[in-house]
Amino acid sequence: MNLTKIDRQILDSYASMIEGLSMYLGSVYEISLHSLEDYDHSVVKIMNGYHSGRTVGAPLTDLALNMLKRIKDINEALPGMLLIECIYLVVAQIIIFIAVPNKIMCAVGLLAGCLYAVFSSFHLSFTIRKVVYGGHKQSSTLVFGYIVRFLVMIILLALLYIFKAGDLLCAIIGMFSEKIAAYLSPLLDKKRSAKGENSTGELPQTDKNIIEKESE
Protein backbone atom coordinates (compact mmCIF):
# COMPACT_ATOMS: atom_id res chain seq x y z
CA MET A 1 0.00 0.00 0.00
CA ASN A 2 1.47 3.33 -1.08
CA LEU A 3 0.69 6.30 1.17
CA THR A 4 -0.17 9.67 -0.31
CA LYS A 5 1.16 12.99 0.89
CA ILE A 6 -2.07 13.57 2.81
CA ASP A 7 -1.79 10.13 4.46
CA ARG A 8 1.74 10.98 5.62
CA GLN A 9 0.58 14.32 7.02
CA ILE A 10 -2.15 12.52 8.97
CA LEU A 11 0.42 10.05 10.32
CA ASP A 12 2.66 12.94 11.39
CA SER A 13 -0.24 14.51 13.28
CA TYR A 14 -0.89 11.20 15.03
CA ALA A 15 2.78 11.02 16.01
CA SER A 16 2.43 14.26 17.95
CA MET A 17 -0.80 13.02 19.49
CA ILE A 18 0.69 9.81 20.91
CA GLU A 19 3.48 11.82 22.52
CA GLY A 20 0.87 13.81 24.43
CA LEU A 21 -1.12 10.66 25.18
CA SER A 22 1.99 8.99 26.57
CA MET A 23 2.68 11.98 28.82
CA TYR A 24 -0.91 11.82 30.08
CA LEU A 25 -1.07 8.06 30.69
CA GLY A 26 2.46 7.68 31.99
CA SER A 27 5.35 5.35 31.28
CA VAL A 28 3.47 2.18 32.21
CA TYR A 29 1.74 2.19 28.80
CA GLU A 30 3.41 1.40 25.49
CA ILE A 31 1.85 3.27 22.58
CA SER A 32 2.84 2.61 18.97
CA LEU A 33 1.88 4.16 15.65
CA HIS A 34 1.98 1.95 12.55
CA SER A 35 2.10 2.64 8.82
CA LEU A 36 0.68 -0.06 6.55
CA GLU A 37 3.00 0.96 3.72
CA ASP A 38 5.58 -1.60 4.83
CA TYR A 39 4.50 -4.47 7.08
CA ASP A 40 8.11 -5.41 7.86
CA HIS A 41 8.92 -1.90 9.13
CA SER A 42 5.51 -0.64 10.18
CA VAL A 43 6.30 1.14 13.46
CA VAL A 44 6.85 4.82 12.69
CA LYS A 45 6.54 6.11 16.25
CA ILE A 46 6.62 4.34 19.61
CA MET A 47 6.53 5.56 23.19
CA ASN A 48 7.86 3.48 26.08
CA GLY A 49 8.93 0.73 23.72
CA TYR A 50 11.10 -0.86 26.37
CA HIS A 51 8.05 -2.82 27.53
CA SER A 52 8.13 -5.00 24.40
CA GLY A 53 11.61 -4.19 23.13
CA ARG A 54 10.21 -2.69 19.93
CA THR A 55 11.68 0.37 18.26
CA VAL A 56 10.91 2.50 15.21
CA GLY A 57 11.06 0.27 12.15
CA ALA A 58 9.76 -2.85 13.93
CA PRO A 59 7.32 -5.09 12.00
CA LEU A 60 3.61 -5.57 12.55
CA THR A 61 2.67 -8.01 15.31
CA ASP A 62 0.82 -11.26 14.62
CA LEU A 63 -2.32 -9.72 16.16
CA ALA A 64 -2.25 -6.82 13.70
CA LEU A 65 -1.58 -9.14 10.77
CA ASN A 66 -4.56 -11.29 11.75
CA MET A 67 -6.74 -8.17 11.93
CA LEU A 68 -5.60 -7.14 8.45
CA LYS A 69 -6.35 -10.60 7.14
CA ARG A 70 -9.87 -10.34 8.54
CA ILE A 71 -10.31 -7.04 6.71
CA LYS A 72 -9.02 -8.49 3.44
CA ASP A 73 -11.34 -11.48 3.79
CA ILE A 74 -14.47 -9.35 4.18
CA ASN A 75 -15.46 -10.09 0.59
CA GLU A 76 -15.40 -13.81 1.39
CA ALA A 77 -17.62 -13.15 4.42
CA LEU A 78 -20.08 -11.08 2.38
CA PRO A 79 -22.18 -14.04 1.13
CA GLY A 80 -22.57 -15.29 4.70
CA MET A 81 -23.62 -11.84 5.88
CA LEU A 82 -26.20 -11.56 3.09
CA LEU A 83 -27.58 -15.00 3.96
CA ILE A 84 -27.98 -14.04 7.62
CA GLU A 85 -29.65 -10.76 6.65
CA CYS A 86 -32.13 -12.61 4.43
CA ILE A 87 -32.92 -15.13 7.19
CA TYR A 88 -33.33 -12.23 9.62
CA LEU A 89 -35.81 -10.57 7.24
CA VAL A 90 -37.88 -13.73 6.77
CA VAL A 91 -38.05 -14.54 10.50
CA ALA A 92 -38.89 -10.94 11.44
CA GLN A 93 -41.61 -10.72 8.78
CA ILE A 94 -43.19 -13.93 10.10
CA ILE A 95 -43.20 -12.46 13.62
CA ILE A 96 -44.80 -9.27 12.29
CA PHE A 97 -47.60 -11.09 10.50
CA ILE A 98 -48.28 -13.22 13.57
CA ALA A 99 -47.99 -10.77 16.47
CA VAL A 100 -48.03 -7.13 15.21
CA PRO A 101 -51.34 -5.30 14.64
CA ASN A 102 -50.14 -2.78 12.02
CA LYS A 103 -48.77 -5.43 9.71
CA ILE A 104 -48.35 -3.54 6.43
CA MET A 105 -46.54 -0.49 7.83
CA CYS A 106 -44.24 -2.65 9.95
CA ALA A 107 -43.55 -5.07 7.11
CA VAL A 108 -42.65 -2.26 4.69
CA GLY A 109 -40.47 -0.54 7.29
CA LEU A 110 -38.64 -3.78 8.09
CA LEU A 111 -38.13 -4.53 4.40
CA ALA A 112 -36.72 -1.04 3.81
CA GLY A 113 -34.34 -1.41 6.76
CA CYS A 114 -33.11 -4.82 5.61
CA LEU A 115 -32.60 -3.55 2.06
CA TYR A 116 -30.46 -0.76 3.49
CA ALA A 117 -28.48 -3.35 5.46
CA VAL A 118 -27.79 -5.28 2.25
CA PHE A 119 -26.73 -2.07 0.49
CA SER A 120 -24.49 -1.10 3.41
CA SER A 121 -22.81 -4.53 3.44
CA PHE A 122 -22.10 -4.35 -0.29
CA HIS A 123 -20.88 -0.76 -0.07
CA LEU A 124 -18.63 -1.41 2.92
CA SER A 125 -17.10 -4.42 1.17
CA PHE A 126 -16.57 -2.36 -1.99
CA THR A 127 -14.97 0.50 -0.04
CA ILE A 128 -12.55 -1.75 1.85
CA ARG A 129 -11.64 -3.56 -1.36
CA LYS A 130 -10.76 -0.21 -2.99
CA VAL A 131 -8.49 0.68 -0.07
CA VAL A 132 -6.79 -2.71 0.31
CA TYR A 133 -6.41 -3.70 -3.33
CA GLY A 134 -7.06 -0.58 -5.38
CA GLY A 135 -4.46 1.75 -3.91
CA HIS A 136 -7.02 4.46 -3.07
CA LYS A 137 -6.39 6.98 -0.29
CA GLN A 138 -7.02 5.11 2.92
CA SER A 139 -8.42 7.82 5.20
CA SER A 140 -10.45 9.81 2.70
CA THR A 141 -11.97 6.72 1.04
CA LEU A 142 -13.14 5.20 4.32
CA VAL A 143 -14.54 8.51 5.58
CA PHE A 144 -16.33 9.19 2.29
CA GLY A 145 -17.79 5.67 2.32
CA TYR A 146 -19.12 6.18 5.84
CA ILE A 147 -20.69 9.51 4.86
CA VAL A 148 -22.40 7.92 1.84
CA ARG A 149 -23.91 5.11 3.93
CA PHE A 150 -25.02 7.56 6.63
CA LEU A 151 -26.70 9.88 4.11
CA VAL A 152 -28.49 6.98 2.44
CA MET A 153 -29.80 5.87 5.83
CA ILE A 154 -31.04 9.39 6.70
CA ILE A 155 -32.70 9.81 3.29
CA LEU A 156 -34.42 6.42 3.59
CA LEU A 157 -35.79 7.18 7.06
CA ALA A 158 -36.88 10.65 5.93
CA LEU A 159 -38.79 9.23 2.95
CA LEU A 160 -40.54 6.68 5.15
CA TYR A 161 -41.52 9.45 7.57
CA ILE A 162 -42.62 12.01 4.98
CA PHE A 163 -44.70 9.64 2.88
CA LYS A 164 -45.75 7.50 5.87
CA ALA A 165 -44.80 4.47 3.81
CA GLY A 166 -43.45 2.35 6.64
CA ASP A 167 -42.84 2.15 10.36
CA LEU A 168 -39.59 3.90 11.37
CA LEU A 169 -38.91 1.65 14.36
CA CYS A 170 -39.25 -1.46 12.21
CA ALA A 171 -36.95 0.11 9.63
CA ILE A 172 -34.29 0.67 12.30
CA ILE A 173 -34.78 -2.92 13.50
CA GLY A 174 -34.21 -4.05 9.90
CA MET A 175 -31.01 -2.01 9.69
CA PHE A 176 -29.68 -3.88 12.71
CA SER A 177 -29.60 -7.04 10.61
CA GLU A 178 -26.22 -5.88 9.28
CA LYS A 179 -24.79 -5.73 12.81
CA ILE A 180 -26.19 -9.14 13.67
CA ALA A 181 -24.81 -10.58 10.43
CA ALA A 182 -21.39 -9.09 11.19
CA TYR A 183 -21.33 -10.85 14.57
CA LEU A 184 -22.63 -14.19 13.30
CA SER A 185 -20.71 -14.46 10.02
CA PRO A 186 -17.42 -15.44 11.78
CA LEU A 187 -19.25 -18.52 13.09
CA LEU A 188 -20.15 -19.49 9.53
CA ASP A 189 -16.54 -18.89 8.50
CA LYS A 190 -15.31 -21.26 11.20
CA LYS A 191 -17.71 -23.99 10.11
CA ARG A 192 -16.77 -23.46 6.47
CA SER A 193 -13.06 -23.63 7.32
CA ALA A 194 -13.57 -26.82 9.32
CA LYS A 195 -15.36 -28.45 6.39
CA GLY A 196 -12.63 -27.23 4.05
CA GLU A 197 -9.91 -29.19 5.85
CA ASN A 198 -9.13 -32.45 4.11
CA SER A 199 -8.56 -35.80 5.79
CA THR A 200 -4.81 -35.16 6.21
CA GLY A 201 -5.48 -32.01 8.21
CA GLU A 202 -4.00 -29.75 5.55
CA LEU A 203 -5.48 -26.40 4.69
CA PRO A 204 -7.62 -26.04 1.56
CA GLN A 205 -5.77 -24.84 -1.53
CA THR A 206 -7.48 -21.43 -1.37
CA ASP A 207 -6.22 -20.89 2.18
CA LYS A 208 -2.74 -21.99 1.13
CA ASN A 209 -2.76 -19.43 -1.65
CA ILE A 210 -3.77 -16.68 0.79
CA ILE A 211 -0.96 -17.58 3.18
CA GLU A 212 1.59 -17.80 0.37
CA LYS A 213 0.59 -14.39 -0.97
CA GLU A 214 0.83 -12.80 2.46
CA SER A 215 4.26 -14.33 3.06
CA GLU A 216 5.68 -12.95 -0.20
DSSP per-residue letters across 9-28: HHHHHHHHHHHHHHHHH-TT
* CA pair distance 105, 108, nearest whole angstrom: 5
* Residue at which a domain ends, from 20, 37, 61: 61
Q: How many CA atoms lie within 13 A of 212 on its CB side?
A: 7
Distance CA 185, CA 196 (A): 16
- Residues 6 or more apart whose CB falls under 8 angstroms from that of 39 comprise 59, 60, 65
Same domain, 79 and 167: yes
Tell whether 177 and 93 lie within a shared domain.
yes
Residue 66 lies in a domain: no
Mark whether 82 and 186 lie in a shared domain.
yes
Structural domain contains residue 213: no
Does residue 93 share a domain with residue 34?
no
7 pLDDT band (50/70/90 cuts)? confident
63-113 tens-digit pLDDT: 777 766 766 666 677 888 899 999 999 999 999 999 999 999 999 999 999
Confidence of residue 203 (pLDDT cuts 50, 70, 90): very low
Q: Contact 67/132 with Cβ under 8 angstroms? A: no
- For 197, residues 6+ apart whose C-beta sits below 8 A from its C-beta are 203, 204
Based on the fold, state whether residues 183 and 81 are members of the same structural domain.
yes
The 10s digit of each residue's pLDDT in 114-165 is: 999 999 999 988 887 777 665 556 667 778 888 999 999 999 999 999 999 9
CA–CA dist 214, 216 (Å, integer): 6
Q: Are residues 111 and 12 in the same domain?
A: no
Model pLDDT for residues 169-183, shown as the tens digit of each residue: 999 999 999 999 988
Residue 163 lies in a domain: yes
- Rounded (5°) CA angle 174-160-106: 50
Amino acid at 77: A
Do 41 and 106 lie in one domain? The reply is no
Structurally, the chain folds into a number of domains equal to 2
**Whole-angstrom Cα distance, residue 75 to residue 79?**
8
**Cβ 197 vs Cβ 191: under 8 Å:** no
In a domain, 184, yes or no: yes
Structural domain that includes position 179:
73-191
